Chains A and B, each alone.
Chain A
């Protein structure tokens, strides 16, 4: 589905500062139906990766192919197919929704001006578990979890094949996080989506994904089956990452011993 080869992206340094190498030669494949996780901390290049995958930015060198078509050098007007087939859910459920648009207009934004908009809107609100009367309200009238549902409905609107979720739950409460993760899992199954899930939290990726790429400073340091990476991390950094994250299980296990 997606093929990334030796991708590099360097941001020009401003006012005499050094240029920033956000990506330093990244290669991976995402197969159809795969749930592909990208894990990394701030500065790892994962946000740059998302922008490049969605062709919202251009690489300095390297190639990205989507269903065999190079998208890294296509002009915007020829990216129409990608805009329908690949959609993004962003991290900040407030910042990614235009505060001055009603939910109806937000969700229908990716749709063409053809008929049946009302019907599709109805379907989408239903699919993400929002009440129908949500359509006429504004984003600020919803809680964080509900806003993320709006964001997901918008992403699903054009019947995409690939969904990129960029830290979709890191701004949410734990209890809401579980609901949104469940919703994503359900939708991925129901609509046969290929999922690219970006997160700083390996335990979330482990729950959601089957494959994971661990990124650090613009490079992939480890790539493989998520259980294997989690159970037997081969790279030092992955081990650090796992050790640093406090998990409830580990803490409870300590109580049982003590």
Chain B
């Protein structure tokens, strides 16, 4: 059975349609990439799934997580799902963490909040465990540090620990490594891969190479629609939609035309 089913999702801001008729499913243990450029509707789709659309956006259609309808769900119920059944890792870990709170406490909080640990003490111990699981050196000490005392990569590890704390059935990563150094990116991607065997993963990025490394299936978004989807190897080796072909061509820095120029996407 699929964990996440999105069917006929539309998101609009007044008259402008940001996401149009988007449908896809993600099963248990499946890793799906969502690619497209800024403004294509990737992040809006993710926000709709998390029930985090800003007020001026309206969603219609159906999003079900383990059979529960997310579209139109009251905020109270949504907040019980977020952080427990589904969680999200953002691009910028500095702004997503509370700067005035020790990171260990922030990890423990998400477990106390959803009562997945019997008491404060065990939540605290579980938090240190988690920080070890995301391979922060000296997790005991790391738990007591504040976000600004950690490097960008370390902060993203903390974000990942928070997201994984309650073993969510769905993990959404929105450009989780874009702000990181290449060598750190590789480590974070490994971590995500190692910790999502039982979850459904929706991985948003504009970097095709990252998708090819992390995901099995891929959805290509363009102008609010999913224009192509399928196994990464099929889509990337035999792209059918013109946009996908152009995106692949412009990503490949080794393929150039007769003048040594890269191929580019033509917008029309």
Contacts and interface: CB of A to CB of B under 8 A. Distances in A.
A touches B in complex, CB < 8 A = yes
A246 interface: yes
A34 B175 CA distance: 35
Interface stretch (B6-14, B107-115, B132-140, B201-209): B201-209
A178 B247 CA distance: 10
Contacts of B210: 246
A102 interface: no
A200 B182 contact: yes
Contact of B212 (A42, A181, A245, A251): A251
A60 interface: no
B236 A248 contact: yes
B223 interface: no
A29 interface: no
Interface string A34-49: 0000000110000000
Contacts of A176: 37
A179 B251 CA distance: 11
B260 A174 contact: no
Contacts of B213: 246, 251
Interface stretch (A66-74, A75-83, A147-155, A203-211): A203-211
Nearest to A254: B212
B182 to A, nearest CB: 5
Contacts of A204: 253
Interface in A213-258: 240-241, 243-252, 255-256, 258
Interface in B225-268: 232-233, 236-237, 246-248, 250-254, 256, 260-265
A174 B37 CA distance: 8
A110 B122 CA distance: 62
A200 B212 contact: no
Contacts of A3: none
Contact of B236 (A42, A206, A243, A251): A251
B182 A255 contact: no
Interface in A133-164: 144
B183 interface: yes
Given A178-B264, A182-B261, A182-B264, A246 B252 contact: no
Contacts of A251: 209, 212-213, 232, 236
Contacts of A185: 260-261
A174 B208 contact: yes
- Smallest CB-CB A-B distances: 9 pairs: A251-B212, A178-B250, A255-B233, A175-B265, A41-B181, A178-B262, A173-B37, A244-B186, A246-B209
5 contacts: A174-B247, A175-B250, A250-B209, A251-B212, A251-B236
Interface of A: 41-42, 144, 173-179, 181-182, 185-186, 200-204, 206-207, 240-241, 243-252, 255-256, 258
Interface of B: 37-38, 152, 181-186, 189, 206-210, 212-213, 232-233, 236-237, 246-248, 250-254, 256, 260-265
